[in-house]
């Protein structure tokens, strides 16, 4: 009883120091842990940390870095957007117009990628990405200075996203047309289609036996039934 009384006295003291302590309902421990995890993820995504330098000012993502992330995660559900492999690097240069077929070719893009990446890695980071763009910029815009050339290449990429190709269309060719033209079929293959080119189905593949009782070529089939079943007309009296 004495311990219970002490606890009640302590609670009264805490309530007197903090009048609003009882106004807010207590939250379960699971919700508090979930809030701490979501806060940590948000600070990591913004490039900040609690108590660290610049914690009040999140890092701003530039348009160039945003395009880098879009191409880095293209076609790969496990990609984080922090690095880019060679296939997406080539796609970026192609979709953004860096490759012109004259000063910059696909071979040049592959050579620069191998040059800037680390030997033990198969991807490049954003910093290595900018170095690679600088290499291509000086080759693409030879009449401009290095900074001006880089700025021009950056403009080609900023705000861009991967171009998704449409559905592949069938290309008409003489060979395919000749093989699919039913009017030129011969033998048993010709019997599988009618005059309009429509398939006959089972009738074109299997010889169906005629069980009507008439010989083949008989033209008056069913005429006997019409005579027998002909309605009689009453003669006038």
CATH number (domain holding residue 141) = 1.10.238.10
Is residue 41 in a domain?
Answer: no
- pTM of the prediction? 0.47
CA atoms within 13 A on the CB side of 17: 5
Strand partners, 193: 199
232 has a pLDDT exceeding 90: no
190 has a pLDDT exceeding 60: yes
54: left (phi over 0), alpha (psi -120 to 50) or beta: left
Structural domain harbouring 99 = 86-156
Task: Summarize pLDDT for 86-105 with one digit per residue, the tens.
Answer: 999 999 999 999 998 889 99
24 has a pLDDT exceeding 50: no
Residue keyed to tokens 């076609």: 75
* Number of domains making up the chain: 1
Q: How far apart are CA 96 and CA 133, in angstroms?
A: 12
Residue 129 makes CB contacts below 8 A (sequence gap 6+) with: 68, 84, 89, 116
Q: How far apart are CA 160 and CA 96, in angstroms?
A: 7
Task: Summarize pLDDT for 162-171 with one digit per residue, the tens.
Answer: 988 765 666 6
Is residue 39 in a domain?
Answer: no
The region of weakest confidence among 21-35, 78-92, 175-189 is 21-35
Q: Tell me the range of 15-24, 28-37, 154-163 where mean pLDDT is highest.
A: 154-163
Is residue 105 in a domain?
Answer: yes
């Amino acid at each position: 009883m004495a311990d219970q009384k002490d606890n009640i006295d302590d609670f009264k003291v805490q309530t007197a120091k903090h009048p609003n302590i009882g106004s807010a309902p207590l939250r379960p421990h699971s919700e508090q842990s979930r809030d701490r995890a979501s806060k940590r993820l948000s600070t990591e995504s913004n490039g900040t940390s609690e108590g660290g330098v610049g914690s009040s000012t999140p890092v701003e993502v530039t348009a160039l870095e945003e395009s880098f992330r879009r191409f880095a995660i293209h076609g790969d559900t496990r990609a984080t957007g922090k690095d880019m492999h060679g296939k997406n690097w080539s796609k970026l240069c192609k979709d953004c117009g860096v490759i012109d077929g004259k000063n910059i070719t696909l071979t040049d893009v592959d050579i620069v990628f191998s040059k800037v990446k680390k030997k033990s890695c198969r991807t490049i980071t954003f910093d290595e990405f900018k170095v690679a763009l600088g290499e291509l910029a000086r080759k693409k815009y030879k009449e401009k200075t290095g900074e001006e050339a880089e700025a021009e290449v950056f403009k080609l990429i900023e705000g861009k996203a991967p171009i998704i190709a449409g559905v592949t269309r069938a290309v008409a060719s003489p060979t395919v047309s000749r093989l699919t033209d039913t009017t030129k079929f011969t033998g048993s293959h010709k019997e599988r289609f009618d005059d309009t080119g429509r398939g006959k189905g089972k009738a074109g593949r299997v010889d169906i036996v005629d069980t009507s009782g008439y010989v083949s070529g008989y033209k008056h089939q069913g005429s006997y039934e019409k005579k027998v079943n002909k309605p009689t007309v009453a003669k006038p009296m």
